Amino acid sequence: MKALKKAPVQIFLLFFVSFLFLWISRTFTGFADWYVKTIYPTWLNTIGRIFSIVPFSVAEIGIYILVVLFIVGVVRGLLTAQRWVSFGYQILRVLGILFLLFVFNCSINYSRTPFSQESQLLVEEYNLEQLKALSASLTEDVNYWSTQVERDAEGLAIINCDISSAGIKAMGSLGDKYEVLSGFYSNPKPVLNSSILSYQHLTGIYSPFTIEANYNNDMTAYNIPFTVCHELSHLKGFMWEDEANYIAYLACMESDEAIFNYSGVLLAWIYSTNELYAADYEAFVTVRADLAQEVGIDLAANISFWNRYEGKISELSETVNDVYLKSNNQPEGIKSYDRMVSLLIANYQNEGE
């Protein structure tokens, strides 16, 4: 009975502290930058390091355990009213703990200084000519790297390296250039039941509860290196999706593994030409016609893969992700992924100077 009496207070404190820090991070300029540079590394270097040792996704297994415990709790709660009240408090307590972890390991970081500013990248509105130039340049890069990767009997690019160590090495090399990306990275892990992500049309997911970078291991191979670096950038506190995409591109280009280089330029090409398709269809057709046949094989396989998982679940997942991003300082929602093109063009312009 004493535990039941204390439960409301414990639950209140968990949510109060969470909302308090969330409010502080969004109200006081500079708090998130201070936090991500002084406090957050503590969680990364403790929680992150501990769970990095485990060869599977702890977050995934944790979800399965919570589902089982929920079912058991419901069954037990049906026996007596007191048990049902106790079960309700337990659910709220768990939700409070998870929300606290989410705020400390993820949500506060949404308010930090963007990577574009940290790297002194001047990002401005781009015009159609700049978009055409970027798309043409990326087409050349994609065609080159498509000849450097190994392929299977069907002509599909394959991963011929240890994806985890190669991803960490690529991010580490990028960290040599940008101090905000330096330091420890935990091992990125494939989701054991990756079909769960496939049905949600997710290539990967960052778990703030275990500070793990998880990726969909079932999707077309060229997606995986880029996704690994994208999720690892979240682990470093860069939560905005466009910036995580841009960091992933830079990291892939730092790698000495051809499949990473190919993955980086191909995803950059896809995002850029998607924008070109919307802005000038004829220009897109011209660029697409210059794409190597090998790349077309990979793109066709990718479309075929995701088409198998179209349905209500993927639509719901997209809606939930859109709402989630908008609630975390990204007003464009899922369209924020596409804003990577602005960063690519800014980078392209800088390299051309």
Q: 80, 111, 142 — which closes off a domain?
A: 111
31/162 Cα distance (integer angstroms): 38
Element holding 215 (H helix, E strand): strand 212-215
Q: What is the pLDDT of residue 337?
A: 47
Q: 94, 111, 128 — which closes off a domain?
A: 111
Contact (CB, 8 A) for 150 and 212: no
161/172 Cα distance (integer angstroms): 17
Q: Write the CA distances from 178 to 22, 183, 305, 332, integer angstroms.
A: 27, 11, 35, 27
Shared domain check, 290 and 277 = yes
Contact (CB, 8 A) for 103 and 18: yes
Concatenated DSSP letters for 23-73?
HHHHHSTTHHHHHHHHTHHHHIIIIIHHHHHSSS-HHHHHHHHHHHHHHHH
Return the SS3 of 207: strand
DSSP letter (8 states) at residue 157: B
pTM score over 0.95: no
Shared domain check, 205 and 72 = no
Shared domain check, 294 and 153 = yes
Shared domain check, 150 and 245 = yes
Q: What is the pLDDT of residue 328?
A: 55
Shared domain check, 186 and 302 = yes
Shared domain check, 141 and 86 = no
Sign for the CA dihedral angle at 293, 295, 296, 301 comes to positive
Contact (CB, 8 A) for 267 and 248: yes
Shared domain check, 169 and 43 = no
327/71 Cα distance (integer angstroms): 30
Q: What is the pLDDT of residue 7?
A: 77
149/353 Cα distance (integer angstroms): 30
310/126 Cα distance (integer angstroms): 33
144/160 Cα distance (integer angstroms): 18
Shared domain check, 55 and 203 = no
Shared domain check, 266 and 344 = yes
Shared domain check, 208 and 100 = no
Shared domain check, 123 and 74 = no
Q: What is the pLDDT of residue 5?
A: 65
Shared domain check, 193 and 326 = yes
For residue 136, the one-letter residue type is: A
The boundaries of the domain holding residue 276 are 115-352
Q: How far apart are the first and last CA of the chain?
A: 71
pLDDT digits (tens), the chain, 353 positions: 555 567 788 888 999 999 999 999 999 989 999 999 999 999 999 999 999 999 999 999 999 998 898 888 777 766 565 566 777 788 899 999 999 999 999 999 999 999 999 988 888 888 899 999 999 999 999 999 999 999 999 999 999 999 999 999 999 999 999 999 999 999 999 999 999 999 988 999 999 999 999 999 999 999 999 999 999 999 999 999 889 999 999 999 999 999 999 999 999 999 999 989 888 999 999 999 999 999 999 999 999 999 998 876 655 555 555 555 555 555 554 444 457 898 998 888 776 54
Q: 88, 111, 134 — which closes off a domain?
A: 111
Domain count within the chain: 2
